[in-house]
Amino acid sequence: MSPKELLYIEDTLDHMCENKKCCTDFASQVQDPSIRNLLQDITSKQTETFAKFYSLLNG
């Protein structure tokens, strides 16, 4: 891979981590249980997606 492609991948992984952090933070602050559950589900899916993407890079 070229250095530019590696930067794109790094940016993508950074954005995924930031999105997960935001969802986790919002879930801890929101009062509505259904919204909290939705945010927790999104966080779980972000974690799974990150792990799959990362394993593809290492595989």
What percent of the residues of the chain are helix, what percent strand, and what percent coil, each to the nearest 5?
Answer: 90, 0, 10
Please state the domain count of the chain. 1
**Burial of 5 from C-beta contacts in 10 A (0-12 / 13-18 / 19+):** exposed
For the chain, helix (H) and strand (E) counts, in that order, are 2, 0
- Mean predicted lDDT score pLDDT of the chain: 92
pTM, full prediction:
0.79
Can you tell me the distance from the alpha carbon of 17 to that of 15, in angstroms, rounded to the nearest whole number? 5
Domain that holds residue 31: 3-58
Checking if the pLDDT of 59 tops 80, the result is no
19-42 per-position pLDDT tens digit: 999 999 999 999 999 999 999 999
